[in-house]
Structure 1
Amino acid sequence: MASSGSMTHNEKRGSAWREAQLGLFTGSIYGATHTITGHPLDTIKSKMQIQTGYNHSSAWEVAKRMYKTEGLISFYRGCIPPLWGSMVYRGIMISSYEYAFTWLEKHTEESSIVKQDVFLGIRPMVPMASVFSAVVRGCLESPIEYAKVMGQTGQKWQFKDIYRGFPFQIVRTTALLIPIFTSLDVARRKTTWLSTLPGNFAVTALSSAFAFVFCWPLETLKNLAQSGTPHANATFSERLAYLGGPLGLYRGMGPGVLAGAIRNGCGMMSMVYAQTWATQLGLR
């Protein structure tokens, strides 16, 4: 068995407040790494989902056209909002998860069902902390994601619309975090796969890929809602018609899933290193 720790690290845990503080620091490192490594593929995905002229092309065709017409800079268009934003909201995401998880760990009895393996090694405290983290993250992430999507597709964003698509954002983020966080928690406690940095990359990348495939229709609907496509008050049936039917909900999934796997795998490696560094500095 590897550890009794949480999905984020194997280090000895301090108080809920201290883990929240460290989570803010290590999560911001995760966030910066996440954006830098995955934004080019994320831009291709957004164009395939939203932008007229790109939405019936393959990922490779979109990439070639972007490079030919706008050069390398086009792959990082709209990068600034998610770069600083990712550092903030992923820092707060990890911080809120660490706070909720540590609070549950220290304020519930060992015999409580919250701490027991109830199905496939999953402890209820992990999805509970994940939901709390998803809601906190969603409140901060939604305006930044809106600005990013508008920038990626060459549109101007407006302050009054920063929470456009907010319900889709919350549902999508919750559906994304629960399978990722629970699988990492099980792997960290039940196996030795996360004892190395490459192992952290592989497990996080695979769990992220699975989670993205599972919730991809929500990702597509979120992007359409945030960009006001086909129009700001479109119904579900109108968005489905714009996509060309149910299969259109999976448009852009290839580059999107690959981007999610790479960026989350790299982000986890950087965060695990930062968690170890924090312990070595005597911060916990």
Structure 2
Amino acid sequence: MTVALDLIAGSIAGAAQVIVGQPLDTIKTRAQIAPKGMFKGNWDIFIQTVRKEGIFALYKGMLSPLLGIAGVNSLLFASYAVSKRIVSPFPEKSLKEIALAGGMAGAANAILASPVEMFKVRMQGQYGAAGDQRLRAVFAEVAKDGLRRGVMRGYWVTVAREIPAYAAFYAGFEYQKRRWLATHPNQSIPVYALVGSGSFGGICYWLACYPLDVIKSRVQLAKTPPSGINYIANEFRTILSTQGFKGLFIGLAPSLLRTIPAAGATFAMFELSHEYLSKHTKL
């Protein structure tokens, strides 16, 4: 029953995350993958995107995560709940145990997150040209390369990203939430504190994994699938040689700006919907 609650509440939270955060996610992804010299910075990406493609271009690629986020977030929150029980049978967990459970949930989450991210990046990597493809055409093109080299391209770098990211995500959220509860004993945590704790967790998420996210986006957008088991290291060296160390953090600013409302909305919606379903359903 608890898993069912996590699945439903996770779906609701995931939809809120996508709707709130998609515009800045588009700017972040374009900063990571755009050809050198195409944009002058994050603000220029925003201006050119709106001017040339219209305001709704900021939501380009949203259909893939919006359709897939129910499964992704359901898997994430359910895996996290199960992982916490595996890590320790006791209800009170240390922050180290929370981080371990979060990392385990992240590894499981990569199974669905990898293909969802693949199609989102492909859609965001189109700049309003006449030959831009719809999601159905992108799917058909990617599927030609098969499951491993096409649909699941970038799976291992996604796993490498998700483990530290969600360890930091859940530990950051729990740390901030516990700080609030410690200063307000015997009180239920309000929505604004949940939003703030979720936002802090989201910032921890990106700081823990951002270079790997840059590598993932570039691998998933590349015309040819990666070969060999060292493709993560190869792409890392390519970024360093062409853009320098700063290339590993390009687009970080819109990611952090996006995560403040998006992660806050995710945790707040999860906690609130979970509480509501517990009270008003038989689950």
* TM-score when normalising by structure 1: 0.82
1:14 alignment partner in structure 2: none
1:42 alignment partner in structure 2: 25
Tell me the CA shift for residue 39 of structure 1. Answer: 0.5
SS in 1 for 2:35: coil
8 Å contact kept, 1:48–1:54: no
Tell me the CA shift for residue 230 of structure 1. Answer: 9.0
Tell me the CA shift for residue 123 of structure 1. Answer: 4.2
Residues 159-196 of structure 1: per-residue CA shift (max 9 Å, x gap): 22111111110111111111121122334445327801
Tell me the CA shift for residue 239 of structure 1. Answer: 3.4
Amino acid corresponding to residue 186 of structure 1 in structure 2: Y
Residues 177-223 of structure 1: per-residue CA shift (max 9 Å, x gap): 11121122334445327801111111111221133123211111111
Q: Which of 100, 112, 124 is residue 140 of structure 1 equivalent to?
A: 112
1-structure distance, mates of 2:197, 2:93: 22
2:129 alignment partner in structure 1: none
Q: Which is richer in helix?
A: 2
2:218 alignment partner in structure 1: 224
Matched, 1:175 2:164: yes
1:166 alignment partner in structure 2: 155
Correspondence list, 1:33-112, <5 A? 33-52=16-35, 56-106=39-89
Aligned length: 255
Describe the shift of the 1:280–1:240 C-alpha distance in structure 2 as closer, same or farther (beyond 3 A).
Answer: same
Describe the shift of the 1:229–1:197 C-alpha distance in structure 2 as closer, same or farther (beyond 3 A).
Answer: farther
1-structure distance, mates of 2:176, 2:53: 43
Please list every run of at least 4 consecutive aligned residues from structure 1 whose deviation after the TM superposition is greater than 6 angstroms. none
8 Å contact kept, 1:230–1:239: no
* TM-score when normalising by structure 2: 0.82
2-structure distance, mates of 1:206, 1:282: 31
2-structure distance, mates of 1:230, 1:50: 15
Deviates more, 1:220-229 or 1:141-150: 220-229
Q: Percent identity?
A: 21
SS in 1 for 2:211: helix
2-structure distance, mates of 1:74, 1:97: 33
1:240 alignment partner in structure 2: 240
1-structure distance, mates of 2:267, 2:44: 31
Amino acid corresponding to residue 58 of structure 1 in structure 2: G
8 Å contact kept, 2:177–2:193: no
* Root mean square deviation of aligned Cα: 2.3
Deviates more, 1:126-135 or 1:34-43: 126-135
Q: Which of 17, 24, 27 is residue 10 of structure 2 equivalent to?
A: 27
